Chains A and B, each alone.
Chain A
Amino acid sequence: MNHTQIFVDAVSLIAPSKENTQPLAKSLATASFATFPEGWKPSPESIPPRAHRRYSPQTLLAIQAAEDIAPALPENAAWVFGSAYGEGETLQLILEALRGPTMAIRPTRFQNSVHNAASGQWTIAQRIKTAATSICGANHTAGSSLLKALLQVQLEQRPVGVVLFDAPLPAPLDTSHRLTCPASAGLALSNNQSPQSIASIAFSLVQQAETAPQSSYAKEALATLNPVFSILPLFENVTGTATGKTVLGLNGRMNLNLEVTAL
């Protein structure tokens, strides 16, 4: 076990529920899950509503989660964005264009097709000058992204904002790229404890199974196949009142062990 203590200063979850379109991670125990309601859309405040159509649903989801945790992070924070499917909706529009004889792609569509479009748009919206990374670990993107962020906090001695996001794709990619519910999540991590710290984490790699979610919300959300929801067992632990352990999945035989102490 690595004994470095890393502090969780904020968490965010953007996903549908029956009561509220934005259930706070802190209310997971009582939140009631709803499958993707018709017309449900992310609504980040830093992007004017009339400009939303210029951004993919994936990027809007990511920016909304980033907005939630940003107040807990100082200017020198680095950012880690994680997505299993990336900008799949934009990719689909490009693929369709490639079926035509001219293969003409809109320039803005191309520059927003990269996996780091969301992190790039977030740094542009907020004029962030620090490091921003974009990670894919397939179904284990949540654990992989958190691992990267924990390394940065520990070794670079700086706060890090973590943003996870994925959204369903339109037909025909929806059958080969399966997930049924949009979601994003955020964690603000710090190397120093502050009054806003809600938990501390010590991390290591272990050959143990992933922690199963406890709440009915998390169980139902995981069934939508959105890899973002893999973070929910950690959120259940972080927002609880006791010390506990959460194991998040990584690719390979080692998983990410998180010893969580509530503050």
Chain B
Amino acid sequence: MTNTPGASDIGISHSTLVSCLGRGRTPHVTALRDGTSGLREDHNLDLPFSCFLGEVDDLTALCFPVELSAYDNRANRLALAALESDGFFQAALATRENWGATRCGIVVGTSTAGVEMLERVYRARDDDAPMPESYSMRHHDSQQAVAAFLQDYLDFQGPSYSISTACSSSAKALVDAYQLIEAGLCDAVLVGGVDSLCLTSLNGFESLELISRSPCKPCDSNRDGLSIGEAAAFLIVERDSKNSIRVSGFGESSDGTNMSTPPEDGAGAAAAIRQALQRAGLTAGEIDYVNLHGTATIVNDAAEAQAVSSVIGADVPASSLKGAIGHTLGAAGAAEAVLSLYALEEGIIPGNPGLEQLDPKVLPNVAAQCRNAPLKHVVSNSFGFGGSNCALVFSR
């Protein structure tokens, strides 16, 4: 990406991730190497069907800040758990100290924010009863609710807003983080994604007949749909970063064809990937690994394979991590950005949990098992309802 004078070396200084695999770097890197899945059939949701979910454990045991108890919901607990992992909270405070609170912004990608709390309150009402006066949209189901919690908790007083483009939300948030710094409006931005498990998403995908009854199997011949997960992932992007890892390119596009199904040729996704490579100044042959959006639906995986093949080439090493953490929806872009950073730093091409028999209609170089490989440039894809596409290039 083009750096403006005075905003050189914009890089990713810190990151954190909480998913069903655990909290922070160590459990995730271990799982990537071992090919472990965190998807489980037993869960705490009141669902009228059975499925495997990527549920994060022990969120209720977290000590939520008393002064901010109005924000207490599952999404914000996920955010808090991520802040408390890998020293991220201390890093955020040090960032604020270094640049000044008004030079530090926040951009959060989320699809449902705290709607899980609204569901509980709504369902608990008697028929035709009004909403309880104590319920606050601002703190719960507003798409800005997580960003507002972070702003109040961390005292980052630069611009703060949320991107909500379904499953591409938090990938697109990273674009905004860079642009706020490039334009000289911020020196650092806390950026990421949060989405919790909720009845709306689960029953919604069930209505589309897209929820698998077994752990999802992206790219597998016998794949039959999604497993939904939850996650919080944050990164601190700042200028003059001493970390060499950065977003080197991004691409955004719209399918303009259908709300929930991509075109078979993956043209919209291909346009986003092509833009990302162009902005990064990279050729297709320089891409070492593609983190697929790879939701494990028949149509989506095949369309993405078409898109990647047409821009980068069919033989590029690739894998989907949805079989490890589930589809974390609005958090997926940021969660898989952090997993891609781990892959870059560790020098590994992650495997594709759930894969047993590779579908000949997807990319041929998707392997079930993790392997060591020196990585320099990684593409991460995120696609969402509304035909919203975003591709990011991470480089070191």
Contacts and interface: CB of A to CB of B under 8 A. Distances in A.
Contacts, number: 226
B176 A151 contact: yes
B137 A94 contact: no
Interface residues of A, number: 69
A103 B115 CA distance: 16
Contacts of A190: none
A176 interface: yes
A138 B142 contact: yes
B352 to A, nearest CB: 27
A194 interface: no
B387 interface: yes
Nearest to B140: A176
B257 A124 contact: yes
A107 B208 contact: yes
A136 B180 contact: no
Contacts of A104: 203, 207
Nearest to B1: A155
A64 to B, nearest CB: 18
Contacts of A136: 142-144, 161-162, 164
A116 B101 contact: no
Contact of B207 (A110, A117, A131): A110
B204 A110 contact: yes
B207 A155 contact: no
Contact of A176 (B128, B131, B160, B185): B131
A61 to B, nearest CB: 17
Given A110-B207, A205-B185, A120 B159 contact: no
Interface string B226-241: 0000000000000000
Contacts of B157: 252-254
B166 A129 contact: no
B159 A133 contact: no
Nearest to B138: A138
Contacts of B2: 155
Interface string B197-213: 00110011111100000
Contacts of B306: none
A51 interface: no
Given A105-B200, A123-B255, 18 more contacts: A98-B119, A107-B204, A120-B387, A124-B256, A124-B258, A129-B253, A129-B267, A131-B252, A131-B253, A131-B254, A137-B162, A144-B159, A147-B161, A171-B130, A175-B133, A176-B135, A252-B151, A252-B158
